[in-house]
Amino acid sequence: MSEKNDGANRDATKRSARERLLAERERQKKKDKRRRTLIVSAAVVGVLGLAAVVGLIAANTGKGDKSANAGPVAAPSGATGKDALAIQSGKPEAKSTLTVWEDFRCPACKAFEDNYRSTVHDLEARGLLKVDYHLVTLIDGNMRGTGSLNAANAAACAQDAGKFPAYHDVLFENQPQETDDAYAKKARLLELAGKVAGLDTPAFRSCVNDSTHNSWVAKSHEAFRAAKFRGTPSVLLNGKDIFADQANPLTPQKLKEAVEAAGKGNGGAQPAPKGKGSPSPAASPSVSPSASAKASASSATSSSGSRAGSGAGSSKAGAAED
């Protein structure tokens, strides 16, 4: 009986040891599984964290400097002036220089062009005047959109093709309402190119569609802001703000007389003495696009709520650039 009891006890002990061993192995398996899960989870969190950091860096790169994302600055062919930011028309040897800062969406700029276009072109043809055009994107900022930028780029592309003056006039003659960002559509800009003989070419289309000169336009607008002009158009004759004197407003006849006087060697930075004629259109203020809309309603008179020409210090800036 004693031997049987001893055998039974030994068997019971062995079973108990095996059970404990199995239980221990099961606990170890669970522990290992938990450890592997933690390692994998930590790795996933690390990858996601790195991705978040990279995404944050990418999201903030270039903020505050939109022109940096538009590629290198590519000035149009023949661009002149400081930093090659002006497109010049007329004969380079002309004694008088008209400096014009314009936005193709600006109604007051259209009013200026409609009033003075024939006079300016006549003076250019006679070799008395050259015009330095600076392109601005003021209305895009005020009204939202990209029409000012796209139209300015297209005009720069026209300069590459030697067709800037004609295309410049076409853009103003067909200017949409200020609130209508029609020039944001490149198809519309290409359609208008058909009005200029020889402009609608594969090279021009590629330039427009690729936004080749966008960075150059952005740099031109930054120069406009740095010069502290109050609005568009800002117009200077031989470095003098000729829209500044509202008591003696400019007219096409006065501009003609001043340029002719300069051509004869009698000076000419000053407009001709006060006489009859319609005053110049008001500038489109950089702080209130509605004022420029008023200007477009009457190309012959200045709006009561807006200021003609550029702001304080603009004459100095224009003179330095010329």
**Averaged confidence pLDDT in the chain:** 76
For range 215-237, the mean pLDDT:
95
For range 276-292, the mean pLDDT:
47
Question: What pLDDT score does 228 carry?
Answer: 92
Categorize the per-residue pLDDT at 319 as very low, low, confident or very high, splitting at 50, 70 and 90. very low
Q: Is the pLDDT of residue 272 over 70?
A: no
Question: Three-state SS for 52?
Answer: helix
DSSP 89-120: EE-TT-SEEEEEEE-TT-HHHHHHHHHHHHHH
Tokens standing for 29? 């398996």
Q: Is the pLDDT of residue 233 over 70?
A: yes
Q: Is the pLDDT of residue 129 over 90?
A: yes
Q: Is the pLDDT of residue 265 over 90?
A: no
What's the predicted TM-score (pTM) here?
0.66
Burial of 88 (0-12, 13-18, 19+ CB in 10 A): buried
Question: What pLDDT score does 230 carry?
Answer: 83
Question: Could you give the CA distance from residue 289 to residue 306 in angstroms, rounded to a whole number?
Answer: 10
Categorize the per-residue pLDDT at 8 as very low, low, confident or very high, splitting at 50, 70 and 90. low
Higher pLDDT, 181 or 245: 181
Residue 279 main-chain phi, psi, to 5 deg: -70, 165
Residue pLDDT, tens place only, 186-210: 999 999 999 999 999 999 999 999 9
Q: Is the pLDDT of residue 119 over 90?
A: yes
Question: Could you give the CA distance from residue 86 to residue 273 in angstroms, rounded to a whole number?
Answer: 30
Question: Could you give the CA distance from residue 232 to residue 72 in angstroms, rounded to a whole number?
Answer: 26
For range 143-148, the mean pLDDT:
96
